[in-house]
């Protein structure tokens, strides 16, 4: 994925990527990224939440305009649940098992 | 809590299946093409790695890994005709609203409101989990680039899943 962004950017077309796996993005380094800390399968937001989906996409376009340093990742402020991070623990247990 | 450590998890998963630990690509630098146009005048193309395809019209992806094919989805697609073939994420929500992983309806709205100049006539979908890095770099990525250039695309918007 990051590799496709890199190849297209090398070919002269600016790219912006939305990531939900920050560590992978750090290693592969697409030219420009925003990070959304949501469970996999929700990169551009929650189902039927048009407003949230639109915010994430417009934040990504803002990053396209503002990022000047190749490989920059901008962390977006959205939280999956207000005060509960149990999805992250569950994801680590499932994938690790 | 800090973000989920997918790199370590993938390494562990490969080991558990009897493969050598997966060696992720590590890049110290990134290529860069400055963005110096007005978005309102740009043609934007969308790509998702969520494994989305058109039911009955396109072949599903290999839902496990290493599918090096891609699908072109017309921008005016009726989203109820889309299906997902991908076994590595919880598809429950994306199957209810594909915009969670392939926000084609949002992009149509952005085009309609003039936020972007134009949405490219086709969007691209692939299935993530491609571990055949060389084939990806030498075959699929250049072919997608060729089509984007041919289509006069100014900005490429990527949604990995």
Q: Is the pLDDT of residue B23 over 50?
A: yes
Residues linked to residue A18 through DSSP beta bridges, in sequence order:
A34
- Please indicate, yes or no, if residue A77 is contained in any of the structural domains: yes
Distance CA B54, CA B38 (A): 32
**CB-nearest partner of A7 from B27, B92, B137:** B137
Is the CB of residue B25 less than 8 Å from the CB of residue A26?
Answer: no
Cα–Cα separations (whole angstroms), residue B129 to A94, B22, B37, B64, B161: 17, 12, 33, 8, 9
CB contact (8 A) between residue B140 and residue A48? no
Q: Do B88 and A40 touch (CB under 8 A)?
A: yes
Inter-chain CB proximity A47 and B88 less than 8 Å = no
Q: Enumerate the domain spans of chain B.
A: 31-159
Q: Which domain holds residue A50?
A: 2-90
- Using one digit for the tens of pLDDT, what is the confidence trace for B133-143? 888 888 999 99
Nearest CA distance, A40 vs chain B (angstrom): 6
Q: Give the pLDDT mean for B145-160.
A: 98
- Distance in angstroms (rounded) separating the CA atoms of residues B16 and A21: 21
Distance from CA of B64 to the nearest CA of A (A): 14
Note whether B80 and B55 are within 8 A (CB).
no
Radius of gyration in angstroms for the set of CA atoms belonging to chain A, rounded to a whole number: 14
- Taking the Cβ of residue B135 and every Cβ of chain A, the question of whether any pair is shorter than 8 Å is answered with no
Of B45, B46, B47, B43, whose CA–CA distance to B116 is shortest?
A: B43
pTM: 0.93
Exposed e or buried b per residue across B10-33, where buried means at least 16 C-beta atoms within 10 angstroms of its C-beta:
bbbbeeeeeeeeeebeebeebbbe
The predicted complex's ipTM stands at 0.93
* Alpha-carbon gap, residue A83 to A85, rounded angstroms: 7
Mean pLDDT for chain B overall: 93
**Residue A45 falls inside a structural domain:** yes
- Percent pLDDT > 70 in chain A is 94
Nearest-5° Cα angle at B94, A49 to A9? 90
For chain A, say whether B145 makes contact (Cβ under 8 Å): yes
B103/A53 CB distance under 8 A: yes
Please tell me the total count of domains within chain A.
Answer: 1
For tokens 């939280």, name the residue. Answer: A79
Q: Is the pLDDT of residue A36 over 80?
A: yes
Give yes or no for residue B1 having a pLDDT over 70: no
Dihedral sign, Cα of residue A6, residue A7, residue A11, residue A16: negative
Say if A25 falls within a structural domain.
yes
pLDDT digits (tens, 9 = 90+) for A52-83: 999 999 999 999 999 999 999 999 999 998 77
What would the two tokens of residue B139 be?
């075959």
> Does an H or E element contain B72, and which?
strand B71-74
Say whether residue B90 is in contact with chain A using an 8 A CB cutoff: yes
């Amino acid at each position: 994925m990051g590799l496709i962004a890199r190849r297209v950017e090398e070919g002269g077309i600016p790219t912006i990527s939305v990531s939900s796996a920050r560590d992978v993005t750090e290693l592969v380094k697409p030219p420009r990224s925003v990070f959304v800390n949501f469970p996999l399968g929700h990169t551009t937001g929650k189902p039927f939440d048009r407003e949230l989906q639109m915010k994430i996409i417009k934040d990504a376009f803002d990053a396209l305009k503002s990022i000047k340093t190749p490989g920059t990742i901008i962390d977006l402020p959205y939280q999956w649940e207000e005060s509960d991070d149990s999805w992250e623990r569950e994801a680590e247990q499932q994938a690790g098992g | 809590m800090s973000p989920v450590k997918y790199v370590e998890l993938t390494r562990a998963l490969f080991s558990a299946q009897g493969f050598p630990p997966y060696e992720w690509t590590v890049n110290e630098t990134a290529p860069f093409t400055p963005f110096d146009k007005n978005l309102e005048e740009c043609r934007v193309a969308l790509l998702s790695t969520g494994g989305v395809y058109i039911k009955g019209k396109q072949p599903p992806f290999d839902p496990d890994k290493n599918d090096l094919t891609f699908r072109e989805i017309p921008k005016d697609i009726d989203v109820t005709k889309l299906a997902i073939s991908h076994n590595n994420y919880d598809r429950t929500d994306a199957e209810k609203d594909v915009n969670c992983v392939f926000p084609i309806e949002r992009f149509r709205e952005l085009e309609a409101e003039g936020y972007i100049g134009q949405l490219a006539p086709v969007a691209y979908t692939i299935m993530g989990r491609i571990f055949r890095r060389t084939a990806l770099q030498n075959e699929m990525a250049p072919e997608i680039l060729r089509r984007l250039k041919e289509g006069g695309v100014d900005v490429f918007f990527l949604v990995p899943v």
